[in-house]
Amino acid sequence: MSTSLQHPQQQPQNPGPTGDQVFPASPHPLDNPAWAALTGAHRHLAQIVGSAARYPEDVSPFVALADPADPAAWADLAALMGPGATFALAGVPATPDGWRSEWGAEGVQLVGTDALLDEADPEARPLGPADVPEMLDLVERTKPGPFRQRTIELGAYYGIRRDGKLVAMAGERLRLDGWTEISAVCTDDAFRGQGLASRLVRHTAAGIRGRGDRPFLHAAGSNVNAIRLYESIGFALRRTTHFRGVRVPGGDGDAEGTGGSGE
């Protein structure tokens, strides 16, 4: 893997392949993309209490805070989610005392550069509600990340079929001002090594750029092969981040204790 994960919040400063600066300075919407999406393009899907927001459970497990350093935002999140609820957070380095971290994983955020060749793929077909059962089955087998019954409402999704069977897909998840995230990139094990994932990423990027947005994506820091693929087709590291599953204090099971989880 050609990118370092040793400094989780460090902002890379090197120029992109064209010599142009591709890493916007902070603060920037990509520093808190879920909040930017839930209060922007995805506002129609959002459930919001004060400084906390979430998607419906069957759309996405991710929630967002306007400012993770603000205790009031965590109080709003507790009111929004309810005691004992679990959810996913991205880019939050630690949780307050009493909030339990159920799991955690390092990740990377990459942005499309001028080197990314986006192009429509003749085999890529739009996926709709009727395709959701097949999409869920493919996700279950390939584990690209969270994808639920209504995730398809977040944006455009595309697939490639072989003998009528869905064998690869990719689509759009977070959408914010000027940016759209590419997500759910996955390929059936029997069809790996054929370049289907990179073709679908380029196809999805073409649609994103066609409406004037810029593509970005996230990947698990441990997914070396995926990161290499994205870098090889023109994405560049913007930042490293942290994904965590979090449990709201209260509810059943707290008798064992809920110490803080500043990792």
* Token digits of residue 126: 């739009």
Query: What is this structure's pTM?
Result: 0.85
Gyration radius of the chain's alpha carbons: 18
Q: What's the pLDDT tens digit per position in 35-69? A: 999 999 999 999 999 999 999 999 999 999 999 99
Q: Phi/psi zone of residue 24: left (φ > 0), alpha (ψ -120 to 50 degrees), beta?
A: beta
What's the rounded Cα separation, in Å, for the pair 201 and 233? 9
Q: Give the pLDDT confidence score for residue 27 in this predicted structure.
A: 78
Alpha helices, H only, the chain: 33-38, 71-81, 132-142, 196-210, 224-232
How would residue 190 be classed by pLDDT, with cut points 50, 70 and 90? very high
How far from each other are the two terminal CA atoms of the chain, in whole angstroms? 24
Q: Give the pLDDT confidence score for residue 251 in this predicted structure.
A: 77
DSSP β-bridge partners for residue 48: 53
DSSP β-bridge partners for residue 175: 180
What's the rounded Cα separation, in Å, for the pair 208 and 111? 13
- Per DSSP (E only), the strands in 62-147 are 63-65, 86-90, 100-112, 125-126
Burial code (b: 16+ CB inside 10 Å, e: under 16) for 228-245 equals ebbbebbbbbbbbbbbbe
Q: What's the pLDDT tens digit per position in 194-227? A: 999 999 999 999 999 999 999 999 999 999 999 9
Q: What's the pLDDT tens digit per position in 130-178? A: 999 999 999 999 999 999 999 999 999 999 999 999 999 999 999 999 9
Q: What's the pLDDT tens digit per position in 83-107? A: 999 999 999 988 999 999 999 999 9
Contact 151, 59 (CB under 8 A): yes
Within 10 angstroms of residue 9's Cβ, the number of other Cβ atoms is 12
